[in-house]
Amino acid sequence: MKARVTVTLKNGVLDPQGKAIEGALKSLGIDGVGSVRQGKVFDIELNSADKAAAEAALKAACEKLLANTVIENYRVEIGA
């Protein structure tokens, strides 16, 4: 089973890297860019086929390591 964890900065947390990317996109003349926030994506291969167990394991992974919940939110998507 495959899963994807997306970690993003919470609203209000300064994202200087996102700002720099935003500036670079605008300077490239790419139209319509309002703002950019940079996040992280983790593609995780799971050994288990049990969806409930996978959800619990991924939540623990996010809380314990993948996200720092002082500044970040996370989202877990479990695929086939």
Interacting residues with another protein (CB under 8 A): 13-14, 16-17, 20, 64-66, 68, 70-71
CB of 27 to another protein, least distance (A): 15
By beta-carbon proximity to another protein, the closer residue of 14 and 80 is: 14
CB of 15 to another protein, least distance (A): 8
User: How far from 56 is each of 13, 20, 48, CA to CA, in Å?
Assistant: 27, 36, 12
Residue-wise burial string across 36-45, b where 16 or more C-beta atoms lie within 10 A, e elsewhere: beeeeebebe
By beta-carbon proximity to another protein, the closer residue of 16 and 29 is: 16
By beta-carbon proximity to another protein, the closer residue of 52 and 64 is: 64
Task: Classify residue 65 by its DSSP letter.
Answer: I
Q: What are phi and psi of 4, to 5 degrees?
A: -125, 125
